[in-house]
Amino acid sequence: MGQTLPKAGLRPYLPADTPMLAAIFVAAIQELTGDDYSEAQQEAWAAAAEDEEQFGKKLASELTLIATLQNSPVGFASLKGPDHIDMLYVHPSVVGQGVGAMLCDALEKLAGARGTENLTVEASDNALDFFKKRGYVAKQRNTVTVHGEWLANTTMQKALANAAPGASS
């Protein structure tokens, strides 16, 4: 069962975090998704962080939050636009300890406070149960091409109970 990390913190992304977040992204894909994706698919997925400048631009263009443990980044999540979770990655060394839930909670609260009524995510197969547990419902199965490889994911949606009244998503 997930336990709360004693010194876990949350802060916004800064450009200087890019190399660390690229390393977390690659490690999470390589070590946590092997049951559902082939090595070739994992490599294609992880290749998104090869060009650090591009990766940094993507992180900066979204609302990116970083989870820290003793001030070191251990995971990150990003909200694209008002209603879409784009990235959620936790370092394998701290997986299963509540970091993913903490990041997801924060994005849900931020989106809800901005009036978003429904949050969506294209969940990777290994993260399906994580999102299901949080009340996300599968809407549509997708297949996307990433660096020449076909990867399956599932569009999931959650109605945010605390959406600001009167605001539209």
**Backbone region of residue 120 per phi and psi (left: phi > 0; alpha: psi in -120 to 50; beta: other values):** beta
Is the Cβ of residue 56 or residue 100 nearer to ligand COA in the bound state? 100
**Residue 30 corresponds to which amino acid?**
Q
Is the Cβ of residue 40 or residue 167 nearer to ligand COA in the bound state? 40
Q: In the 8-state DSSP scheme, what is residue 160? A: -
Residues forming contacts to ligand COA in the complex (CB under 6 A) are: 1-2, 28, 32-33, 88-90, 95-101, 121, 123-124, 126-127, 129-130, 133
* C-alpha–C-alpha distance, residues 108 and 118, integer Å: 10
- Residue 137 Cβ, how far from ligand COA at the closest point, in Å? 15
- Residue 166 Cβ, how far from ligand COA at the closest point, in Å? 30
Is the Cβ of residue 137 or residue 164 nearer to ligand COA in the bound state? 137
- Residue 167 Cβ, how far from ligand COA at the closest point, in Å? 25
Could you tell me if 10 and 65 are in contact, meaning their C-beta atoms sit under 8 angstroms apart? Answer: yes
Is the Cβ of residue 55 or residue 115 nearer to ligand COA in the bound state? 55
Q: Tell me which residue of 127, 11, 38 sits closest to 20, measured CA to CA.
A: 11
- Residue 26 Cβ, how far from ligand COA at the closest point, in Å? 10
Report the first-to-last Cα separation within the chain, whole angstroms.
Answer: 33
